[in-house]
Amino acid sequence: MPTRKLMPDVIKKQELSCLPATATVRDAALLMAERRIAAVLVTEGRTLKGIVTERDITVRVVSAGLDPQTTPLSAVMTADPDTLEPSAAALAAMELMERHHYRHLPVTVDGEVVGMVSIRDLFAVVRAHLEDEIRDREAFIFGSGYSAEAAV
């Protein structure tokens, strides 16, 4: 697989979903529902402070009996999450996510958020690569430039 970088090969145009640490869990849940996403970046300006995911809301809020309307994101976010730079290889993101069981990984430049990659984004890249490989192999095996007579 050719080296594909997080930006622009995996993440193309992306609207960041960010909230301040003082926002409530309900604010995050509403934003996730509105944008049909599973994670929100917690920022101060453009500086990444943390990340809150659907899983965080389930485990750290709902199952813990906290009130989503009053619980600030700072109380339940994963602070200072791992990040990668835009020039990082998609494979590096996949390996990091697999090793730590993440489904979302912020992309930053000098601590400032520029994107977020999801396991779904990476799956799409791998799928496209596999489809290209299959097409190339089929063209080689069944294409016009290949025949049993040419091999003899």
Question: What is the second-level CATH architecture of the domain 16-151?
Answer: Roll (3.10)
Among the listed ranges 12-26, 82-96, 107-121, 133-147, which one has the minimum average pLDDT value?
133-147
Q: For residue range 20-42, list pLDDT tens digits in order.
A: 999 999 999 999 999 999 999 99
Give dist(CA 18, CA 4) in Å, integer: 26
Q: For residue range 3-24, list pLDDT tens digits in order.
A: 778 787 778 888 899 999 999 9
Q: Please give the pLDDT value at position 8.
A: 78
Q: Could you tell me the maximum CA-CA distance found in the chain, to the nearest angstrom?
A: 77
pLDDT: is 150 or 57 the higher one? 57
Q: Please give the pLDDT value at position 149.
A: 53
What is the rounded average pLDDT of the residues 60-73? 97
| pTM of the shown model | 0.79
